[in-house]
Amino acid sequence: MKKIAVLICSLFIMHYSLYAQDIFIAKGQIEFEKRVHFIANIDDIYKKDDDNGGGFDFINSIKKQLPEWKTSYFNLYFDGNKTLYEPGREVTIAGPKGPDWFNDPAQDNVVFCNLGTKQSIAQKSVYDAKFLLADSLRKANWKITNDSRDIAGFNCRKATTIINDSVFVVAFYTDQITTTGGPESFNGLPGMILGLAIPRLHTTWFATKVELTAPSASTLIPPVKGKKATNADLSVKLQSVFKDAWNKKFAQHAQWMIDL
């Protein structure tokens, strides 16, 4: 009798599991934890052989003021073919924070995507300047693999691509969420991106939770603040901010981060 009860229970669990896998989500809210390895980025950008006028020694002194990692949170609201990515809850940083000009340049990004029209409107800051960028969504040549992992309770499949000619990107998406978006402006996979890693930028985004509450109409709207500009305008602004010779790599790195 006990064996029969165990068998019935097992069949029930299998049935429930198969049923659960058939649930598809089209609207909700995702919290992403973004982690940036500051020290690794500095070591990549500033090398002793590239020193110019004591810049390397100055940067080494800056490293002592920075935490090894910076963790921040972003919310992604989605409903059908529309998404809005914006800063989420604040995190208190213990210890030294470093100078303001060395903060993650993409920490204030707000990105609205219309996956139907393949257009995006993004609000991005370059220190004292705020830009409003309207552009087409990035077309990524994703290569889907057989690797998978669990993220926030969802089985996610791995995919890879290259952006900005040489920056390698790893993504994990779930087809249980039918909106084909992701953090920042990443999109184009057969489901929602819940995990993202860019090794060259020592940066990751991973979903911590998915809520099935539909976003309100007043939430899922494009940003409106900032000077209207193109990505080319943004690049010129970055180059002017980091015009010193030993800061050119920093400018390129910042451009990659903001342009995501």
Q: Mind listing the domains of the chain with CATH numbers?
A: 24-258 (2.50.20)
Model confidence at 13, in pLDDT bands (50, 70, 90)? very low
Model confidence at 51, in pLDDT bands (50, 70, 90)? low
E-state strands within the chain:
27-37, 69-79, 82-87, 110-114, 119-126, 129-136, 143-151, 154-163, 167-174, 192-198, 203-211, 227-229
The C-alpha atoms of residue 24 and residue 147 are separated, in whole angstroms, by 21
What pLDDT was estimated at residue 27?
A: 97
> How many residues would you count in the chain?
260
On whether the CB atoms of residues 210 and 135 are closer than 8 A, the answer is: no
pLDDT digits (tens, 9 = 90+) for 93-103: 666 666 555 66
Q: Would the pLDDT of 258 be above 70?
A: yes
Mean pLDDT of the chain: 83
Model confidence at 5, in pLDDT bands (50, 70, 90)? very low
More confident residue, 242 or 69: 69
Range in 2-16, 41-55, 135-149 with the lowest mean pLDDT: 2-16
What pLDDT was estimated at residue 150?
A: 98
More confident residue, 51 or 34: 34
What pLDDT was estimated at residue 16?
A: 40
Range in 31-45, 72-86, 97-111, 127-141 with the lowest mean pLDDT: 97-111
pLDDT digits (tens, 9 = 90+) for 106-151: 788 999 999 999 999 999 987 778 899 998 998 899 999 999 999 9
Indicate the SS3 state at residue 229.
strand
